[in-house]
Amino acid sequence: MERKKSFSMNYYLRYLIFGCVMALLPLLTNAGILKTSWIGIIGGTIIYTIAGLGLNLLLGWSGLISLGTAGFMGLGAYISAYVTGDLGLPFEVGILLAVLIPLVFGILIGLASLRMEGLYLGIVTLCVSEVLRKTFDELEPVTGGFSGKQANFPTLLGIFKLNQQSTYIFLVVIMVLLMMLTYNLANGQLGRALNAMRGSQVAAQAMGVSLLKYRLIAFSLATAFASLSGALYVHFIRFVYPSTWTLPVSLVIMALIVIGGLRSVFGTFIGALIVYAMPDLVLKNIPVIGDINGLSYVLSGVLIIIVVLFYPGGVINLFYKLHSVITGGGKKKAALPQTGEEQESMEETHE
């Protein structure tokens, strides 16, 4: 396949350009074109996207359900806040520990996951998440209990003290790197193995795909992404409460990858934008109805239902359809390695 790669086909370039566009946001808010609150909201979207990318590897590519994302995000957040705040260690060490410690849990769940299927796995991971959340409540010396825990904006390499805007840029950089990583993983040997596992475990085993190995990898990646996003959360929002990390957070992250498009890297971001940022950015600014308490919640709930009912491939497929209508070709299908098989695989049930 030594075709000349066209400009639009080079995924790395796409991610880089996307990152550059995202990094322009602080300029726009400084110029007064957009409100300063946008930085906080889009930053939150990026954090959700990072957790979503990990869950997409798990749910999208390997077809395993996890409802434990919230617990691991919280664990990452608390570890990083404790290590950088109470122990006074550098930011990088905090992030590293915040990813490594949850990783142990991820590997354990991966091992346990070999014994169970579908919904049982989902609720066992929910169990793990609840154990972690209750521990955040009770382990006061480390987590600060109900009153929460504070953290600072990151200081990179001990020299560069970041403020909110530069932390936002830092988030964008991390997200673009992780998008490239996810794209590489998903389109390489790992992605093929996970796809095979999703299709049929028995068939995958017969083809020489080790269930143990790939389930462990899938769960470790999802946990690592989730805890990293939690660690970034605590350094961006600068505060963390135990009551944040409940079931709805895990469900929202699951919803955003289904809405954006399973097995799609950009789709994860678009899903996060719709689920997380849309209520704050758009719906609350509509005159009259934006002022009604709770209406933005209702509208995003309706939106979620409509997208799942009528666009089962996710919003990202809408873009691809539009794209192929505009450029007028079925041949474009080859350019979409991630979503090309969307239609057929959405039809096979996982029950």
Residue 90, SS3 per DSSP: coil
Give the 3-state secondary structure percentages of the chain, helix then strand then coil, rounded to 5.
75, 0, 25
Q: How far is the CB of 275 from other proteins (least distance, A)?
A: 9
Instruction: Indicate the residue among 32 and 294 with the shorter CB distance to other proteins.
Output: 294
Q: Which helix (H) or strand (E) holds 249?
A: helix 247-260
- 285 is a site residue for other proteins (CB under 8 A): no
**What letters, b where the CB count within 10 A reaches 16 and e where it falls short, cover 48-60?**
bbbbbbbbbbbbb
Instruction: Indicate the residue among 53 and 128 with the shorter CB distance to other proteins.
Output: 128
Q: Which of 101, 222, 254, 273 forms a contact with other proteins (CB under 8 A)?
A: 254
Residue 314, SS3 per DSSP: coil
Q: How far is the CB of 264 from other proteins (least distance, A)?
A: 15
- 347 is a site residue for other proteins (CB under 8 A): yes
Q: Which stretch binds other proteins (CB under 8 A): 32-40, 74-82, 170-178, 301-309?
A: 301-309
- 128 is a site residue for other proteins (CB under 8 A): yes
- 146 is a site residue for other proteins (CB under 8 A): no
Q: Which of 24, 87, 93, 131 forms a contact with other proteins (CB under 8 A)?
A: 131
Instruction: Indicate the residue among 56 and 167 with the shorter CB distance to other proteins.
Output: 56
Q: What are phi and psi of 150, to 5 degrees?
A: -100, 155
- 297 is a site residue for other proteins (CB under 8 A): yes
Q: What are phi and psi of 239, to 5 degrees?
A: -155, 145
Cβ-defined contacts of 105-111 (< 8 Å, 24+): 105/72, 105/75, 105/223, 106/72, 106/219, 106/220, 106/222, 106/223, 106/224, 107/216, 107/219, 107/220, 109/66, 109/68, 109/219, 109/223, 110/215, 110/216, 110/217, 110/218, 110/219, 110/220, 111/212, 111/216
* Residue 247, token pair as written in the block: 């079931």
Q: How far is the CB of 294 from other proteins (least distance, A)?
A: 4
Instruction: Indicate the residue among 39 and 222 with the shorter CB distance to other proteins.
Output: 222
- 6 is a site residue for other proteins (CB under 8 A): no
- 218 is a site residue for other proteins (CB under 8 A): no
Please give the residue ranges that form the binding site for other proteins (CB under 8 A): 59, 65, 112, 115-117, 119-120, 122-124, 126-128, 130-131, 134-135, 138, 200, 202-203, 246-248, 251-252, 254-255, 258-259, 292-305, 308-309, 312, 346-351
